[in-house]
Structure 1
Amino acid sequence: MIEKSKWIFCPICKSKTRTKVCAVTILINFPLYCPKCKQESLVNIKKYKIAIVKEPDAETQSQ
């Protein structure tokens, strides 16, 4: 049986990312990076459903 895979879309800007998953793929606390908006989000993915764990806060830069 050939399993279909789908592209994962960014939960912030809704554009396609470089990550593909199958229906049986389960990702927990996966750092999903979007090349378009250059944001990284922690997500859980199960049966093509994306749930945002949390969006990373802006990191302060120390000098």
Structure 2
Amino acid sequence: MKDEKWILCPICKSKTRLKIRQDTVLENFPLYCPKCKQETLINSRDKGTGTLSLSQLSVMGSHGGILE
């Protein structure tokens, strides 16, 4: 089994209900945070390290631009 990491909310930094694997690719994925009750579009294309940090995670704002 491959290593899995929890996806953290890019707004409040708490753990969401989703895990991501090393080979997971997300494009325009609507990530919902149960703590802050916000939905954010995320992209993840990193297949190398298996760790998911904000530098590897692109967050789409409500206006469609990428927030980094």
Structure 1 runs of 4+ off > 2 angstroms?
A: 46-49
Give the match for residue 38 of structure 1: 37
Q: 1:45, CA displacement in angstroms?
A: 1.4
* Aligned equivalent of 2:57: 50
Which 5+ residue runs of structure 2 have no aligned equivalent? 47-51, 64-68
Percent identity of equivalent pairs: 53
* 1:60 alignment partner in structure 2: none
Q: Tell me, which stretches of 5 or more residues in structure 1 are unaligned?
A: 58-63
TM-score by length of 2: 0.73
Q: How many residues align?
A: 55
Q: 1:61 corresponds to which residue?
A: none
Amino acid at match of 1:11: P
Q: Tell me what 1:17 maps to.
A: 16
TM-score relative to the length of structure 1 = 0.78
